[in-house]
Amino acid sequence: MLGFLPLLVPIAFGLHATASPTFLSKRSTLELVVTSVPDYVRPYIVRAYSLDGLAVGSQVYRFPVTGPASGGAFTLISTAAPASDALGIHKAHYENFFCLRGSFRLWANDEARLFTPGDYGAVPPSTNHTFQIVDPFSELVGVISPGGFEDLFTVLAQSNYTSVLEAPFTAGPVAATAGGDASIITTLEKYDVYAELEYSPRTDMVNGSAPSTAAWHNAPNTLATDAATPFFVAKDYGPRYLNNATGQYQIIEPLLTPTQTDGNFTMGNIILSRTFARKTPAVYTLPHSHTALEVVDGQLTLKMEKETVELEIGDVAFVPAGTAFSYWSQVAYTKILYIGNGTQTLDQQLLGNAASWDYAVFPSSPPS
Ligand SMILES: *[C@@H]1O[C@H](CO)[C@@H](O)[C@H](O)[C@H]1NC(C)=O
Ligand SMILES: *[C@@H]1O[C@H](CO)[C@@H](O)[C@H](O)[C@H]1NC(C)=O
Ligand SMILES: *[C@@H]1O[C@H](CO)[C@@H](O)[C@H](O)[C@H]1NC(C)=O
Ligand SMILES: *[C@@H]1O[C@H](CO)[C@@H](O)[C@H](O)[C@H]1NC(C)=O
Ligand SMILES: *[C@@H]1O[C@H](CO)[C@@H](O)[C@H](O)[C@H]1NC(C)=O
Ligand SMILES: *[C@@H]1O[C@H](CO)[C@@H](O)[C@H](O)[C@H]1NC(C)=O
């Protein structure tokens, strides 16, 4: 266990050279659902927990989107873990924390929050930060830009993790996490991880927040107005916009817009209604943006490369720039997490035809 030992500070960034983009010419013969992530850009889907992972203590890290799979655009990490005293690992890329299951604590500079499912935290470059898993089965979705940050974990990993039953992680006593060792910490600098051993995370959370006066599950949250300030958005407490023009209601809940990322990428949630009667869901092609979609509630039907696939909670689809795709919900309420690089992203397209919306659910009948 590390206790409250290593707090790592991102200082430098841009250390990861982005891989040169490789765009695959359309080949519909490829299997869409894969069990190992491609090492080049192509459309694919990975099922929750189906990937082999890397074990760091009892935490299992899986990488549904990698630097190579996204042409260097971003990395998507799934961390499935039991409760632990140990604190996590940190760096200088733009890092995002989203709670899919269970709960964890996240510290960013002088603030701390207790995350429950649907909560989000933005950790821009050069932010002191760490996290601690709280519940016995928790899952943290991490998004890091630019891509390639997964290389760090090949250094930190104590073993490879695989399970014929696709168990999220190994049942058993919680194992110690590596990373506190001074020689390891030095090694990590080339992976853009800088130890900040003096950083001492505050322990005075009240009602899930420190300072206790911060809005957390009791009042609206706003996004930072620049690309350097960390911020937190509790589930459904951020800005919301309703789009009624795509054959279904879509509530867009932006978490990162070009303002918070210097235009590097955007991410957020989309809530979907069922498709309206006699309507066909819209088809999208994003020529300048790779997109990842992860189901966080309900069930998503995704059509891409002439195939139609049902996605459940934790499943991830990667849609390369230029690939036509369409998606809809066959259940009453579906929520997805989207990530897109650049500024001409899925959400920016949807927001162009949406109006500010005050509620966490869509209207109870279709637009007339
Ligand atoms: C995980 O597997 C890879 C490929 O077989 C191997 O190179 C690596 O050393 C393994 N890592 C650990 C920590 O055992
Ligand atoms: C990060 O923590 C160190 C102390 O460990 C402090 O000197 C520095 O100012 C902190 N940086 C920020 C941005 O809070
Ligand atoms: C914590 O929550 C309780 C119950 O809602 C409330 O009475 C109390 O004032 C809150 N404490 C702070 C410091 O906000
Ligand atoms: C945006 O990307 C550029 C180039 O990689 C990088 O230098 C910059 O730090 C990034 N900005 C943010 C806010 O991540
Ligand atoms: C998105 O990422 C790909 C791969 O790195 C790159 O080719 C493309 O230019 C990026 N788009 C934008 C708008 O940044
Ligand atoms: C549909 O959305 C448009 C644009 O946001 C809005 O002007 C219109 O009032 C909406 N229609 C209905 C019936 O909600």
| Residue 332 burial (10 A CB sphere; 0-12, 13-18, 19+) | exposed
Give backbone dihedrals phi and psi of 259, rounded to 5 degrees, phi first.
-60, -40
Long-range contacts of 203-208 (CB under 8 A, 24+ apart): 205/105, 205/112, 205/113, 205/114, 208/113, 208/114, 208/116
- Nearest residue by C-alpha to atom 6 in ligand 3: 207
pLDDT value of position 50 = 97
Q: Is residue 125 lining ligand 4, measured as CB closer than 6 Å?
A: yes
pTM of the model: 0.90
SS3 189: helix
Of 304, 283, 286, 293, nearest in space to 343 by CA: 286
pLDDT value of position 86 = 63
- Ligand 5 nearest atom to the CA of residue 341, by list position: 1
- Ligand 2 nearest atom to the CA of residue 198, by list position: 5
Q: How many residues does the chain have?
A: 368
Q: Is residue 250 lining ligand 6, measured as CB closer than 6 Å?
A: no
How far apart (Å, rounded) are the C-alpha atoms in residues 358 and 298? 21
Contacts of 97 (CB under 8 A, 6+ apart): 104, 106, 115, 120, 121, 123, 131, 140, 141, 142
- Nearest residue by C-alpha to atom 12 in ligand 1: 159
Taken in order 82, 200, 122, 19, the sign of the CA dihedral is: negative
How far apart (Å, rounded) are the C-alpha atoms in residues 8 and 139? 21
79-96 tens-digit pLDDT: 999 988 666 555 558 999
Question: 272-292 burial, b if ≥16 CB within 10 A, otherwise e?
Answer: bbbbbeeeebbebebeebbbb
Q: Is residue 351 lining ligand 6, measured as CB closer than 6 Å?
A: no
Residues at CB less than 6 angstroms from ligand 5: 18, 21, 71-73, 288-290, 341-342
- The CA 218 to ligand 3 mean position distance, Å, reads 10
Structure tokens at 251: 């509530």
Q: Tell whether omega for the bond before 146 is within 30 degrees of 0, i.e. cis.
A: yes
Q: Is residue 157 lining ligand 1, measured as CB closer than 6 Å?
A: yes
- The CA 14 to ligand 4 mean position distance, Å, reads 7
Confirm if 286 and 346 have CB atoms less than 8 A apart: yes
- Ligand 2 nearest atom to the CA of residue 109, by list position: 14
- The CA 313 to ligand 2 mean position distance, Å, reads 37
Q: Give DSSP secondary structure letters for 30-93.
A: S-SB-SS--SSB--EEE-TT-S-EEEETTEEEEEEE-TGGGTTS-EEEEEEE---S------SS
Most informative mutation of 52, 154, 159 for ligand 1 (most atoms within 8 A of CB): 154
How far apart (Å, rounded) are the C-alpha atoms in residues 143 and 14? 16
Alpha-helical regions (H) of the chain? 151-156, 182-188, 258-261, 346-351
Which residue ranges form the domains of the chain, and what is each CATH number?
2-20+31-200 (2.60.120.10), 236-356 (2.60.120.10)
- Ligand 1 nearest atom to the CA of residue 55, by list position: 13
- Ligand 6 nearest atom to the CA of residue 242, by list position: 5
pLDDT value of position 177 = 63
Contacts of 40 (CB under 8 A, 6+ apart): 22, 24, 68, 69
| Residue 54 burial (10 A CB sphere; 0-12, 13-18, 19+) | buried
pLDDT value of position 12 = 26
- The CA 266 to ligand 3 mean position distance, Å, reads 34
Residue by residue, pLDDT tens for the chain (368 residues) are: 222 223 333 322 222 333 333 444 444 467 999 999 999 999 999 999 999 999 988 899 999 999 999 999 999 999 999 988 666 555 558 999 999 999 999 999 999 999 999 999 999 988 888 889 999 999 999 999 999 888 888 888 889 999 999 999 999 988 766 545 556 666 777 777 777 767 778 889 999 999 999 999 999 999 999 999 999 999 999 999 999 999 999 999 999 999 999 999 999 999 999 999 999 999 999 999 999 999 999 999 999 988 999 999 999 999 999 999 999 999 999 999 999 999 999 999 999 999 999 999 999 999 98
- Ligand 2 nearest atom to the CA of residue 9, by list position: 1
Confirm if 250 and 218 have CB atoms less than 8 A apart: no
- The CA 201 to ligand 2 mean position distance, Å, reads 11
Most informative mutation of 264, 266, 339 for ligand 4 (most atoms within 8 A of CB): 264
Residue 138 is classified by DSSP as E
State the pairing for strand pair 316-319/241-243: unpaired
How far apart (Å, rounded) are the C-alpha atoms in residues 114 and 175? 23
Q: Nearest bound ligand to CA 262?
A: 4
- The CA 262 to ligand 4 mean position distance, Å, reads 6
- Ligand 5 nearest atom to the CA of residue 18, by list position: 5
SS3 347: helix
Confirm if 280 and 5 have CB atoms less than 8 A apart: no
